[in-house]
Amino acid sequence: MERLIIISGASRGLGFALAKQLIKPDTLLVSIARSNNSELAALCHQANATYHYINADLARPQGTELATQQLSDLCAQHQNLAHYYLINNAGTVAPMAQAHQLDDPKAIAQALQLNIGSLMSLSACFLAHTPPEADRRILNISSGAGRGAVPGWGVYGATKAAVDYFTQTLALEQPNVRSAALAPGVIDTDMQASIRQTDSDYFPNRERFISLHQNQQLASATYTAEQIARYLTNDAFGQKTIDDIRHYF
């Protein structure tokens, strides 16, 4: 075994598509999610890769703590590998609402915890429990929404802006760890379906996303994952801390 790859939110959407792209015989693939994807486990078995599932709700501090405890134990058992990759992919676009409508503190707190809090905790665990002499890489899935304001995405955009800032800080503090915050573009996933179903009073840009879907202008999760997997494993990964995968295809 040569590689340990950890992916949060790997049970569906972009995370699942990324996991499928990164399965190789020399890989221990760790999925952190609320549900186990049996197809992912079967694909690892077929490819003679090792699969490990950590059942955790990263939108809750207790779930994140459970995940980091299990992850630290797992890393302690695999200290002699050449490559360690962490992909912080788990996230939510909810709650979608304009500033005067953000009246659900619990939903806001869960989004903050999932989109940025759990990312920080998993990164800290990864840094503390993987060998510094190895090839270590952290890929944080960000968004263009964190780089330009979008009405109705005050919470989502704020968390993604925080992802970018944290990644820049990480790059300064850990120069020997390759890291990047990557915007993946607009992808045809369940998140996009949720966006299209949101009342336009809460998300004024709804019609734009409906149009993108109707005109088949959404990138497929599989195609985007192919590009991101190539990006992550490239020798140049980490040279640009704030990045966008659409710059490469």
Catalytic residue annotation: 156
Going across the sheet that includes 83-88, the strands are 50-55, 27-33, 3-8, 83-88, 135-141, 178-183, 242-244
Residue (of 34, 57, 29, 64) closest to 44 by Cα position: 29
Q: Tokens representing 200?
A: 């336009």
Contacts of 139 (CB under 8 A, 6+ apart): 85, 86, 87, 88, 179, 180, 182, 228, 232, 237
- Is 61 exposed, middle or buried, given 0-12, 13-18 or 19+ CB atoms closer than 10 A? middle
CA-based end-to-end distance of the chain: 31
In angstroms, the CA 220 to CA 190 distance is 12
Q: Tokens representing 211?
A: 């149009």
Contacts of 141 (CB under 8 A, 6+ apart): 14, 87, 88, 89, 91, 163, 181, 182, 184
Between the alpha carbon of residue 96 and those of residues 41, 185, 227, the distances in Å are 33, 18, 28
Q: Tokens representing 2?
A: 């040569």
Coil, helix or strand for 42?
helix
